[in-house]
Amino acid sequence: MRYSNYGSRYPRYERKPIKEDPGLGVRLDKILRENLNTDTRNFVVSLNDFFQNNGGLSEKQLASFMKIESRFSPMERLKLLGWEKEYLKDHLRESKILAQYYVKTPYKRDWHQDVLDSPGFVPNRSYYMKMRNNKYAKVVLEETNRLARFEDQSMVQIRSNVGTTYDSKPIRKFRNRLCFVINNNLTILNPVNGGKRYKILPMGASAPILVEERWIMKPNKNGVSK
């Protein structure tokens, strides 16, 4: 680190030394032909652009690239092939369920969008298992897989205490309203017990609304039609 000759208190950083390697371009191109996720591909593309402009990479850039490159060694390819078979057989359905949930959260959105948009995409095993086994994912899967309490075409009633939370506030005006179930298996947004989502049509309303199962119940004498 150096400081300017004018006594500025702001440091002037020296450029990291470049390790020139004419053969690196072939290695970068080879990795770019692999089935990479969006984040990794964008990173390798940036390294390739840097290489084209500078004839090499910095020591830190090269170390990061070699870590990616090592994933595609013969031994790692065998491991990856085994994981691909396991994923397609045992995890694909759950992966899509979780991707639909996670894509609406601050977590790595590009990764989960790849799961939804690219049929041949297989996520990194360690990352997938980490996301699959956290407490929120487990609730999402349990809520998705369990049978809905209320069947399609059945009548339900909005609970009288709905509207006290941010999520339920939009349906506060429908308290005690009788409704018809249109769809009882929508994508889950909240990893909570009773988070299974429904599309229902309130009696007297011109359009359906979306609710969570915890906000509705079997009709009782307090149910109103509008």
Task: Looking at the structure, tell me whether residues 93 and 63 fall in a common domain.
Answer: no
The confidence score (pLDDT) of residue 203 equals: 96
Domains in the chain: how many in total?
Answer: 3
In the predicted structure, residue 9 carries a pLDDT above the cut 80: no
124: in domain: yes
4: in domain: no
25: in domain: yes
Q: Which domain holds residue 59?
A: 16-70
In the predicted structure, residue 32 carries a pLDDT above the cut 90: yes
The confidence score (pLDDT) of residue 71 equals: 81
From the CA atom positions of the chain, what is the Rg in Å?
26
In the predicted structure, residue 7 carries a pLDDT above the cut 80: no
Pick the more confident residue, 71 or 2: 71
The confidence score (pLDDT) of residue 28 equals: 93
Residue for token pair 């996720």: 37
The stretch 71-84 carries a mean pLDDT of 85
Q: What percent of the chain has pLDDT over 70?
A: 92
Please tell me the distance from the alpha carbon of residue 198 to that of residue 140, in angstroms, as a whole number. Answer: 15
Reported as a single tens digit per residue, the pLDDT across 170-195 is 999 999 999 999 999 999 999 999 99
Q: Whole-number mean pLDDT of the chain?
A: 88
SS (H, E, C) the chain: CEECCCCCCCEECCCCCEEECCCHHHHHHHHHCCCCCHHHHHHHHHHHHHHHHHCEEEHHHHHHHHHHHHCCCHHHHHHHHHHHHHHHHHHHHHHHHHHHHHCCCCCCHHHHHHHHHCCCCCCCHHHHHHHHCCHHHHHHHHHHHCCCCCCCCCEEEECCCCCCCCCCHHHHHHCCEEEEEEEEEECCCCCCCCCCEEEEEECCCCCCEEEEHHHEECCCCCCECC
147: in domain: no
224: in domain: no
The stretch 96-117 carries a mean pLDDT of 83
pLDDT confidence band for 202 (50 / 70 / 90): very high
Tokens of 23: 């053969």
The confidence score (pLDDT) of residue 5 equals: 52
55: in domain: yes
7: in domain: no
